[in-house]
Amino acid sequence: MELDQKTTKLFHTITFGCQMNLNDSERLAGQLRTIGYEATDDIEQANLILINTCCVRESAEKKIYGKIGELKRLKLVNPNLIIGVVGCMAQKDKDKILKKYPHVNLVMGTHNTHQLVELINKVEQSREPVLAVWDQAKRLAPDVPTVRKGQISAWVPIMYGCNNFCTYCIVPYVRGRERSRSLDSILTEMRQLGSEGFKEVTLLGQNVNSYGKDSEESIDFADLLHAADQVESIARIRYMTSHPRDMNDKVIDTIRKSKKICEHFHLPIQAGSDTILERMNRGYTTSYYRELITKIRRDFPNASVTTDLIVGFPGETEEQFLETLQFLKDIRYDAAYTFLYSQRSGTPAAKYPDQIPLPTKKARLQQLMAVQNEISLEINKQLEGSVVEVLVEGPSKNDETKFMGRTRTNKIVLWQKTGQEQAGDLVNIQIDTAQTWVLKGQLI
Ligand code: SAH
Ligand code: SF4
Ligand code: F3S
């Protein structure tokens, strides 16, 4: 479609937070395209700026508020500029944002994402700040058009919301209760992606193992995985995040019998102390989790296992922290994403006594990261000399002479461009040098 230069409107999105949010931004872009907006990387040129926000930790919020503040400058230069704050933090702080930042035109919550077109029209006409934040989802939001950032790997949401209420976590409050998409709409989206040339799909949900529990269809996550594995045009399937409590034998068997589901298990443990796990309301013990990992490693000897960890949960003693450190050494994760506990008002843990002082939290995080980095490096070093199958994603962002892709186990691989590889190919790379976060090698 030819767009008239003069009437083309430009939008710029800034996205914080998880994969779910990145995918939401693609769905915002898809909706904006239907009313003549094109994306621009240059924020100064934009007629519309959307900040898609996260509030999982205070550090994210601080950054976002800083960003919203900065945009005032652009608004002064161009009073017609539309600024929208959307997503999780908008859901939580709607009143504060409107009150403190009068240059914001639109505040849109997580349950209103599909209404973007209607809301932008309203802003364009009224020029009054528009607030659209439903307290809860009315029903499963309709699918909307999507403009994706990548061309090889795509996200496909399978469910929205979370029912787990881990005591530290704000997500259930800002994303609402679990709502599963229908099997049919998920498979249709996957087939469509395949026909557009995408090779890899990551099925997204806060707790993918709960898929289907709220559906009228009698279906669970294993059934969905089995059906997804049959989509011919797609070469690899990933999923995130799975809750260790709900990772059952049926899912593990389905993955083992599948062709395309990757042997990467991201199973957030959060803490290595049973007392802390109970106070986090995680619903499993360390011994249950150890057994789960043993089973996975027995069934998938080459599997990679990764995790999330929180240090400085209220009341965490030095002994309990040392249990977590020992747990890391015992499990030997390929990688761990480690976070300082952040007090989220409205969550039970925010009111727990014995909040841990920041310097203690920081010191524990440093210790944890040092131990984990060493383990990650040792595990990756074992791959030196071996040949791994890599899905080519494209040229490396930092070095144009190199190409980048991932192994089935989700490790990043870089190699010297040969001219024979193309984005979307499955190629074999011989690994020469392993580092903590990347493997380097040569195409063979
Ligand atoms: N639904 C996913 C991910 C949720 S958010 C899951 O349950 O695994 C991603 C990670 O952020 C969590 O795994 C947890 O480690 C971390 N996180 C959540 N709330 C936090 C908080 N209040 N402070 C610090 N880290 C937190
Ligand atoms: Fe948060 Fe727990 Fe739900 Fe994950 S499972 S989103 S950590 S409440
Ligand atoms: Fe953040 Fe919302 Fe994701 S709070 S982690 S963007 S679900």
Q: What is the pLDDT of residue 9?
A: 94
Give 31-54 pLDDT, tens digit per residue.
999 999 999 999 999 999 999 999
Q: Which sign does the torsion angle of CA 415, 417, 422, 423 carry? A: positive
Angle value at C-alpha 77, between 76 and 80, nearest 5 degrees: 80
Q: Is 270 in the pocket of ligand 1 (CB under 6 A)?
A: yes
Dist. CA 427–CA 421, nearest whole Å: 8
Residues forming CATH 3.40.50.12160 domain(s) in the chain:
9-132
CATH top class, domain 387-443: mainly beta
Dist. CA 360–CA 65, nearest whole Å: 26
Please provide the size of the chain in residues.
444
Give 70-122 pLDDT, tens digit per residue.
999 999 999 999 999 999 999 999 999 999 999 999 999 999 999 999 999 99
Asked if 171 and 56 count as a contact pair (C-beta separation under 8 A), the reply is: yes
Longest dimension (CA), the chain: 66
Asked if 255 and 225 count as a contact pair (C-beta separation under 8 A), the reply is: yes
The closest of 261, 159, 270, 258 to 208, measured between CA atoms, is 159
**Nearest ligand, measured from the Cα of 311:** 1
Question: E strand or H helix at 442, and its extent?
Answer: strand 438-443
Pocket test for ligand 1, best of 62, 170, 308, 344 (most atoms within 8 A of CB): 308
In 3-state terms, what secondary structure has residue 21?
helix
Ligand 3 atom closest to the Cα of residue 56 is 4
Ligand 1 atom closest to the Cα of residue 169 is 19
Q: Which residue has the tokens 């700040």?
A: 129
Backbone angles phi, psi at 394, to 5 degrees: 145, -175
Q: Which residue has the tokens 């933090």?
A: 89
Pick the CATH number of 153-381 from 3.30.70.2860, 2.40.128.120, 3.30.70.20, 3.80.30.20: 3.80.30.20
Measure CA 365 to chain center.
22
Asked if 107 and 94 count as a contact pair (C-beta separation under 8 A), the reply is: yes
Backbone angles phi, psi at 376, to 5 degrees: -60, -45
| Cα 26 to ligand 3 centroid, rounded to whole Å | 15
* Residue 181 CB contacts under 8 Å (≥ 6 apart), including other chains: 140, 143, 157, 158, 159
Q: Is 242 in the pocket of ligand 1 (CB under 6 A)?
A: no
How is residue 370 written in tokens? 């040092």
| Cα 162 to ligand 3 centroid, rounded to whole Å | 11
Q: Which sign does the torsion angle of CA 324, 328, 330, 331 carry? A: positive
- Alpha carbon distances (Å) from 273 to 315, 335, 342, 357: 12, 19, 18, 19
Q: Is 205 in the pocket of ligand 2 (CB under 6 A)?
A: no
Ligand 3 atom closest to the Cα of residue 170 is 4
| Cα 168 to ligand 2 centroid, rounded to whole Å | 9
Q: What is the pLDDT of residue 2?
A: 46
How is residue 212 written in tokens? 């289907």
Ligand 2 atom closest to the Cα of residue 56 is 1
Dist. CA 225–CA 239, nearest whole Å: 9
Q: What is the pLDDT of residue 400?
A: 87
Q: What is the pLDDT of residue 7?
A: 66
Q: What is the pLDDT of residue 1?
A: 43
Residues forming CATH 3.80.30.20 domain(s) in the chain:
153-381
Dist. CA 118–CA 440, nearest whole Å: 48
Whole-prediction pTM:
0.95
Angle between helices 318-331 and 358-381 (to 10 degrees): 10
How does pLDDT run along the chain (444 residues), one tens digit per residue?
444 455 689 999 999 999 999 999 999 999 999 999 999 999 999 999 999 999 999 999 999 999 999 999 999 999 999 999 999 999 999 999 999 999 999 999 999 999 999 999 999 998 789 999 999 887 788 889 999 989 999 999 999 999 999 999 999 999 999 999 999 999 999 999 999 999 999 999 999 999 999 998 899 999 999 999 999 999 999 999 999 999 999 999 999 999 999 999 999 999 999 999 999 999 999 999 999 999 999 999 999 999 999 999 999 999 999 999 999 999 999 999 999 999 999 999 999 999 999 999 999 999 999 999 999 999 999 999 999 999 999 999 888 899 999 999 999 999 999 999 999 999 999 999 999 999 999 999
Asked if 83 and 120 count as a contact pair (C-beta separation under 8 A), the reply is: no
- Judge residue 397's burial from the number of C-beta atoms within 10 Å of its C-beta, 0-12 exposed, 13-18 middle, 19 or more buried: exposed
Dist. CA 41–CA 30, nearest whole Å: 16
Dist. CA 239–CA 306, nearest whole Å: 13
* CATH number of this structure's domain 9-132: 3.40.50.12160
